[in-house]
Amino acid sequence: MTYQKEELDWLWLASIEGIGPKRFYELTKFFGNPTEVRNASLYEITRSNILNHKVIEAYSNARNEIYMENLLGELQQKEIDVVTAIHPDYPVNLTTIFDPPPVLYVKGNLKSCTDKYIAIVGSRQCTRYGQEIAEKLGYELPSQGITVVSGLARGIDTHAHIGCLRAGGKTIAVLGCGVDITYPPENQKIYHQILETGILMSEYRPGTKPLPQHFPARNRIISGIASGVVVVEAGEKSGAMITVDYALEQGREVFAVPGNILSKYSIGTHQLMKEGAKIVTKVSDIIEEFGWHSVLLNNPLKVNTENNRQLDIYENMIMELLEPGSLDYNSILNKTGLSAQYLNSVLTILEIQGIIKQLPGKIFSK
């Protein structure tokens, strides 16, 4: 990807360790624009009282020409594009939020997305019911010309992405680490599937580890890109509620899927309903709220037990091993020659989709 000089200055400033969106915009407001920040003297930077000593040191080191050469080389090597907030491909909805990410590191083609975005979020720990509903929503929304946005986290996020991938739809995974890092590790297979047809996105430069403090900030991007946020399952103190808070601040619509009134994983969603969140029992509940054209007028969110998805080579390998009967995990590991991490992700997807089942003692059967 070729960058204009102004875009390179945006990338340079945003990439410096310790300069997050807040400091980025404070500096650009003080000096005028990123180019002027780059040209400022250390005395002027210090006098602005925006950066502490440690970040000033990082700023000073970044002024070396080798710094940008190394960064651009890494981006090219890892096939990562950068979309700045002044680029035409930058998501329009994000420009309206408080402290929008100055740059987005992207793997995939943002131009291939639709102009309608819905986020699906929920608890990392969720029930089978929550998994099925997240997949159902993820599967049906693309048929309405909608891009599904989530965070590739364990639980509801994962299943929303899986549903969208099964439908051949567009999905955006917003990460709380560099886009070159697979997190959580067991989502390696899904990460690569999204890489083939969807978009991996992060405000953090390549190599950034998935630190706890990154994820609340990441959630503002998930809600910020979308027109609305659907909460499938959320406990009383679920991280999904942070996304809801951001959505409300950003003026986004909040939807909630009814759950089991006896389940702790539905406490948060039911509280949202009491507070005025719109109830979702079918995809058209979302479509109609925005006045978008819908071809699904009455399609309840029932679980689809049919699975016509074509299996890949590794999934077929496992199914052939299970053809004579059940097999324990270690035997599958030894016979396939796959890494434990990769095998876990394949088994998880097959189990989620009801193609195989896990029996006590970590034994698997069709």
What's the per-residue H, E or C state across 216-274?
HHHHHHHHHHCCEEEECCCCCCCCHHHHHHHHHHCCCEEEECCCCCCCHHHHHHHHHHH
322 in the same domain as 286: no
Here the CATH number for the domain that contains residue 55 is 1.10.150
144 in the same domain as 69: no
pTM of the predicted protein model: 0.81
274 in the same domain as 196: yes
pLDDT tens-digit map of 216-246: 999 999 999 999 999 999 988 888 999 999 9
pLDDT number for residue 340: 81
Q: In which band, very low, low, confident or very high, does the pLDDT at 181 lie, cut at 50, 70 and 90?
A: very high
Domain final residue, candidates 256, 290, 324: 290
pLDDT number for residue 3: 83
CA atoms within 13 A on the CB side of 107: 26
Pairing of strands 253-256, 228-231: parallel
Residue 297 has pLDDT above 50, yes or no: no
Tokens 């590790």 map to which residue?
185
pLDDT number for residue 237: 82
336 in the same domain as 242: no
Pairing of strands 81-84, 103-107: antiparallel
- Put the strands of the sheet holding 199-202 in their side by side order: 81-84, 103-107, 199-202, 171-174, 147-150, 117-121, 228-231, 253-256, 278-279
pLDDT number for residue 309: 52
318 in the same domain as 234: no
> How high does pLDDT run on average in the chain?
90
CA distances from 32 to 38, 95, 232, 342 (A): 11, 19, 43, 48
Listed in sequence order, the DSSP H helices in 63-203 are 65-77, 128-140, 156-167, 188-197
Residue 298 has pLDDT above 70, yes or no: no
Say which range, 4-18, 273-287, 329-343, has the weakest mean pLDDT. Answer: 329-343
Nearest to 230 by CA among 300, 297, 130: 130
**At what angle are helices 5-15 and 21-31 packed, to 10 degrees?**
130
Number of domains in the chain: 3
Here the CATH number for the domain that contains residue 358 is 1.10.10.10
Here the CATH number for the domain that contains residue 258 is 3.40.50.450
132 in the same domain as 42: no
Residue 7 has pLDDT above 80, yes or no: yes
151 in the same domain as 213: yes
pLDDT number for residue 77: 96
Q: In which band, very low, low, confident or very high, does the pLDDT at 358 lie, cut at 50, 70 and 90?
A: confident
Q: In which band, very low, low, confident or very high, does the pLDDT at 306 lie, cut at 50, 70 and 90?
A: very low
139 in the same domain as 58: no
Q: Which domain holds residue 360?
A: 313-365
131 in the same domain as 9: no
pLDDT tens-digit map of 36-75: 999 999 999 999 999 999 999 999 999 998 999 999 999 9
Domain final residue, candidates 60, 77, 94: 77
Q: In which band, very low, low, confident or very high, does the pLDDT at 311 lie, cut at 50, 70 and 90?
A: low
pLDDT tens-digit map of 245-293: 999 999 999 999 998 888 899 999 999 999 999 999 989 899 999 988 6
